[in-house]
Amino acid sequence: MIALIAVTAIACNKNQKAVKKLDGEWKVTKLTFTEDNISVTETDYNMTMTFDNCKLKDNEYCSMTRVHSDGSDTYTYSGFYKVTSDGTVLVLADDLTGTDSENLTIIELSSDKLILEQVDGNEKINIELEK
Per-residue pLDDT of the chain (131 residues; tens, 9 = 90+): 444 444 444 445 889 899 999 999 999 999 999 999 899 999 999 999 999 988 866 668 999 999 999 888 999 999 999 999 999 999 999 987 777 899 999 999 999 999 999 999 999 999 999 99
Q: Is 67 helix (H, G, I), strand (E, B) or coil?
A: strand
Determine whether 22 is exposed, middle or buried from the number of CB atoms within 10 Å of its CB (0-12, 13-18, 19+): buried
* pTM given for the model: 0.85
Alpha-carbon distance of 92 to 3, in angstroms, equals 30
Q: The dihedral of CA 5, 14, 80, 92: what is its sign?
A: negative
Contact 50, 111 (CB under 8 A): no
Classified by CATH at the fold level, domain 2-130 comes out as Lipocalin (2.40.128)
